[in-house]
Structure 1
Amino acid sequence: MQKVYVLDSSVLLHDPNAVSQFQENEVIIPYVVLEEIESKKRLLDNIGRAAREAIRYLDHLRESGQLSQGVRLPNGGKVRIELNHYSTEILPLNSDMSLADNRILAVSLSLTREEERSVVLVTKDIAMRVKADALGILTDDYNNDKVILPSINEEVLILPLDDEEVQLLYRTKYIPLKLPLPPNRCVKAVLSDNSILPLLSSSDGERLVYQMGKGFSPWDIRPKNTEQSWALEMLNNPEIKLVNLMGPAGTGKTLLALASGLEQTVHAELYVRMLCARPIVPFGKDIGFLPGEKDQKVRPYMQPIYDNLEFLLRSRREKEREKGSELVESAIDLLIKKRQLEIEVLTYIRGRSIPNQFIIIDEAQNLSAHEVKTIITRAGEGTKIVLCGDPDQIDHPYLDKESNGLAYLASRLTGQSFYGQVRLIRGERSELATRAAVLL
């Protein structure tokens, strides 16, 4: 039986084409939702872009008929702008009808009482779903772009190796496989003494690869666990053009990516520049506008990248017995001046073509699927992209663990020869940070 779906503004700001995702059912957009979307169309961030796309899509549908009367969709469904059902009596006493959420709830409750069909309020606002449930309104999250990642154990393959295979592996850096494996998969090779050797399947899935070995340490950084070994293997494999590093804070995602990028850019000169970026999503209360030029404005948001760079460059300087943070700071400035390092805001990447660069996108869990696609399609010839993030630590108001860009990337590209993915699980920042993360 056909259903009626009432869309909250959060759904359209998350997916501007959401109205076309409800098959043959009827989609209702309350008029107040249009007002909310219009108020955000001038924003320069992802929310503003989504608002503009949603308005353009509705304007396109208007060519097929009057939206207030309902317009048929190509999938057999129908979309309608709801102008009525504004009443102060339908909601509990003292409800503020100037609030957009209450007006959307009033529309949903009126339709629930009038329609013989099931009426479902679709919203990504958790509080809105709780209020709707209290009023007896059927409610649901927008699940069209939800991705359920497999468990970590399912992503890791376990393969026993005999002594002859191990000797061949150490001698030739690879061994052929009798049965092909998915490309660029993490493999735990179990040796005859039950020890574990971290390996990768090749990009064609026909071999097990052991390129780096125990002595490999890009920019003097050595892996501290099996997952970090896999990460470094992927980061330094030129055949893997896109690497997805997922894991909690302190597992070494950004540090490993920066160390590998510096090694391949500054020393090996495989790339002309290392470009680092992260989305500007402040944690906690925003401090408002910042003074200064662009670099000074974005410095607080980019500070985690600077912290890791200072750690990596300081260790090099200490070995040369050069002192203090001033030299470390000047080393970062020197790399920027020589155009071997660029620290950029994601806002300014749109429209660029970026060839022969090592791109690191930090905090990528705060990116939508559209933003991830935009970033990856900027890559020119010879460019490698590394995305780092924790899907469990999302600050974006319209994203969650199952609808962020990292999860979308993993669901769409797993199995591709140019894509590699590692989920780090063990914190290595410090014993204090690791114990606190568990106990607190």
Structure 2
Amino acid sequence: MQKVYVLDSSVLLHDPRAIFQFQDNEVIIPFVVLEEIESKKRQQDNVGRAAREAIRNLDCLRNSGQLSQGVPLPGGGIIRIELNHYSKEILPLKSDMGLADNRILAVSLSLAHEEERSVILVTKDIAMRVKADALGILTEDYYNDKVAMTQIKDEVLTVSLEDQQVDQLYRNNFIYWQEPLPANGCIKTVLSDHCVLPLVASPEGNKLINCLGQGRASWDIRPKNMEQSWALEMLHNPEIKLVNLMGPAGTGKTLLALASGLEQTVHAEKYVRLLCARPIIPFGKDIGFLPGEKEQKVRPYMQPIYDNLEFLLRPKRDKERERNGESIVESAIDLLIKKKQLEIEVLTYIRGRSIPNQFLIIDEAQNLTAHEVKTIITRAGEGTKIVLCGDTDQIDHPYLDRESNGLAYIASRLKGQPFYGQVRLIHGERSDLATRAASLL
């Protein structure tokens, strides 16, 4: 049976094409939602972009008829702009009808009383869903962009090897495998001496590659666990153009990515530049505008990257120069930036760029939408490798959750592709305090 879906402004600002995602059902947009979207259209951010696109989509539908009377949608449904379909008496006493949320709730409740069909309010606003439930209105989150993450144990394949195969693996660092393997999948095997050997499937899925365990090092950083061995192997494999590192705080995502990037950019010279970026979304209450040039403004947001770089570029040579009485003018980070081997950028300026032959690290990628992640990945030019780092349980974006963020979207859409590798890091290595706090608090 056909249903009636009332869309909140948060849904259209989250996905401007949401009106096309309800199949053959009727989509109702209260007039106050148009007013809210119109107030956002001049913003120079993703909210403003979504508002402008949503308005353009509605304007195109206007050619098929009057929106207040109902216009057919490509999927067989109908979209209608509801002008003033509510009564003030329908909400509890002293409800402020000047609030947009209350007017949307009133429209939904009036329609629910009049319609024989099910009337469902769709909103990304949790508080609004609670208020709607209290009023007896059926309500849902917007599920179209949600993806189901697989269990960590299901992402690791365990294989058994004969002694002869183990010898060949240590000799050649790979062996051919008869059964099909997931492209760039994480593989482990337990040897006869109970040691666990981390392996990675080849992009073609026909070979097992030895991760070299503690022998694999990047910029003097060696893996401390099996997951970090998988991560370093994928970071160093030139055939894997996109690596997704997911895990809680302190598991080494950003440090491993930076170490591998410095190794391949500065030492091996496989890439012309190490480019680091992260979304500008503050944790907690923002402190407002910051003074200075662009580099000074973004420095507080990029400080986690600088912290890891300072750890990796510990000034051993500077100490020797100090002992010799030489003056130190530039730090190691400033020197790499001056030589254009390192660039720390904000994602605000990445649209329209073409980035060839670079090692691109996107930190805190869980705060990106699916559209933003797609925009970033499509900036990659010839010879560029992209590394996404993030934790789907630490999301600061107001309209994203662990099932609708860009990191989870990439994991669900690209898993199994020969150019894509994914590792879920689980063991905290920052410190015993950080590990215990992450699990207990």
Q: If the length of structure 2 is used for normalisation, what is the TM-score?
A: 0.97
Q: Which residue of 2 is the match for residue 103 of structure 1?
A: 103
The alpha carbon displacement at 1:214 in A equals 2.6
Partner of residue 116, structure 1? 116
What is the CA–CA distance in structure 1 between the aligned matches of 2:81 and 2:205, rounded to whole Å?
A: 52
User: 2:363 maps to which residue?
Assistant: 362
Contact (CA 8 Å) 2:280, 2:301: kept in 1 or not?
A: yes
Equivalent position of 1:377 in the other structure: 378
CA shift, 1:351, in A, is 0.3
Q: In terms of mean alpha carbon deviation, does 153-162 or 311-320 score higher? A: 311-320
Tell me the equivalent position of 1:261. Answer: 261
Residues 115 and 322 (structure 1 numbering): CA distance in 2 closer, same or farther, change over 3 Å?
farther
**Alignment correspondent of 1:423:** 424
Distance 1:137 1:153 in 2: 39
Partner SS, residue 128 of structure 2: helix
Q: In the alignment, what sits opposite 2:135?
A: 135
Shift in Å at residue 415 of structure 1? Answer: 0.4
Measure how far apart 1:315 and its partner are: 6.3
Deviations 1:43-92 (A, max 9, x none): 12211111111111111111111111111011110001110124321111
Cα distance, 1:167 vs structure 2: 1.0
Q: How far did 1:201 drift?
A: 0.3
Which has the larger displacement, 311-320 or 363-372? 311-320
In structure 2, relative to structure 1, the CA distance for the partners of 1:82 and 1:259 (3 Å cut) is same
SS at match of 1:219: coil
How far is the alpha carbon of 1:211 from its aligned partner?
A: 5.1
Contact persistence 1:365–1:389 (CA under 8 A): yes
Partner of 2:310: helix, strand, or coil?
Answer: helix
Greater mean alpha carbon deviation, residues 183-192 or residues 373-382: 183-192
RMSD: 1.5
Deviates more, 1:150-159 or 1:214-223: 214-223
CA distance in 1, matches of 2:322, 2:182: 47
Residue number in structure 2 paired with 1:432: 433
User: How much does 1:266 deviate?
Assistant: 0.4
State whether residues 245 and 388 of structure 2, in contact with CA within 8 Å, keep that contact through their aligned partners in structure 1.
yes
Q: 1:343 aligns to what SS in structure 2?
A: strand
Give the conservation status (yes or no) of the 8 Å contact 1:180–1:207: no
Matches within 5 A, 1:401-412: 401-412=402-413
Contact 1:391/1:400 (8 A) holds in 2: yes
Q: Secondary structure at the match of 1:398?
A: coil
Does structure 2 conserve the Cα–Cα contact (< 8 Å) formed by 1:7 and 1:121? yes
1:373-418 Cα deviation digits (max 9, x unpaired): 0000000000000000001111111111100001110111000000
Alignment of 1:302-317 (within 5 A): 302-314=302-314, 317=317
Equivalent AA in structure 1 for residue 196 of structure 2 = I
- Give CA deviations for 1:188-241 in whole Å, capped at 9, x if unaligned: 111112211111000100000125443221000011111111000000110100
**Residue pairs, 1:238-317, within 5 angstroms:** 238-314=238-314, 317=317
User: How many angstroms does 1:119 deviate by?
Assistant: 0.1
Aligned equivalents of 2:330, 2:126: Cα separation in 1: 44
Q: Distance in 2 between matches of 1:52 and 1:345?
A: 23
Identical positions, percent: 80
Question: Who is 1:196 aligned against?
Answer: 196
Q: Which residue of 1 aligns with 2:206?
A: 206
Unaligned runs of 5+ in 2: none
AA aligned to 1:13 is L
Per-residue deviation, 1:321: 7.8
Give the distance between the partners of 1:329 and 1:216, measured in 2 at CA: 31
Q: Residue type matched to 1:126 in 2?
A: I
Residues 34/362 of structure 1: CA separation in 2 closer, same or farther (3 Å cut): same
Distance 1:397 1:430 in 2: 30
- Between the aligned partners of 1:91 and 1:15, the Cα distance in structure 2 is 29
Mapped partners of 2:96, 2:55: distance in 1:
27
Deviations 1:226-273 (CA, angstroms, capped at 9, x unpaired): 111100000011010000000011111000000000000000000000
Letter in 1 for 2:275: L
Say whether 1:6 aligns with 2:6: yes
Which residue pairs with 2:145 in the alignment? Answer: 145
How far apart are residue 322 of structure 1 and its match? 6.1
Query: What's the secondary structure of 1:358's corresponding residue?
Result: strand
Distance 2:90 2:257 in 1: 56
- The CA distance in 2 between the partners of 1:101 and 1:177, in whole Å, is 59
The separation in 2 between residues aligned to 1:6 and 1:375, in whole angstroms, is: 32
- Kindly provide the CA deviation profile for residues 9-51 of structure 1, in whole angstroms up to 9, marking residues without a partner as x: 1111111000000000000001111111111111122111111
Instruction: Find the residue that maps to 2:387 and give its secondary structure.
Output: strand
When residues 96 and 329 of structure 1 are mapped into structure 2, their CA distance, relative to the original with a 3 A threshold, is: farther
- Match of 1:350, as an amino acid? R
- Residue 314 of structure 1 aligns to a residue whose secondary structure is coil
Distance (whole Å) between structure 2 residues aligned to residue 273 and residue 418 of structure 1: 21
**Aligned equivalents of 1:316, 1:91: Cα separation in 2:** 69
Return the TM-score normalized by structure 1: 0.97
Structure-2 change in CA distance of 1:40 and 1:414 (3 Å):
same
- Residue identity matched to 1:437: A
- Confirm or deny: 8 A CA contact 1:314 1:328 kept in the other structure: no
Number of corresponding residues:
438
> Which amino acid in 1 is paired with 2:430?
R
* Matching residue of 2:348: 347
1:430–1:327 Cα change, 3 Å: farther
Work out whether residues 317 and 328 of structure 1, in 8 Å CA contact, stay in contact via their aligned partners in 2. no
Q: Whole-Å Cα distance in 1 between the matches of residues 422 and 317 of structure 2?
A: 32
In structure 1, C-alpha distance between the alignment counterparts of 2:355 and 2:365, rounded to whole Å: 18
2:328 & 2:394 partners in 1: Cα distance?
Answer: 34
Written as runs of structure 1 = structure 2, the 5 A alignment for 1:36-47 is 36-47=36-47
User: In the aligned structure 2, how far is the partner of 1:366 from the partner of 1:235?
Assistant: 22
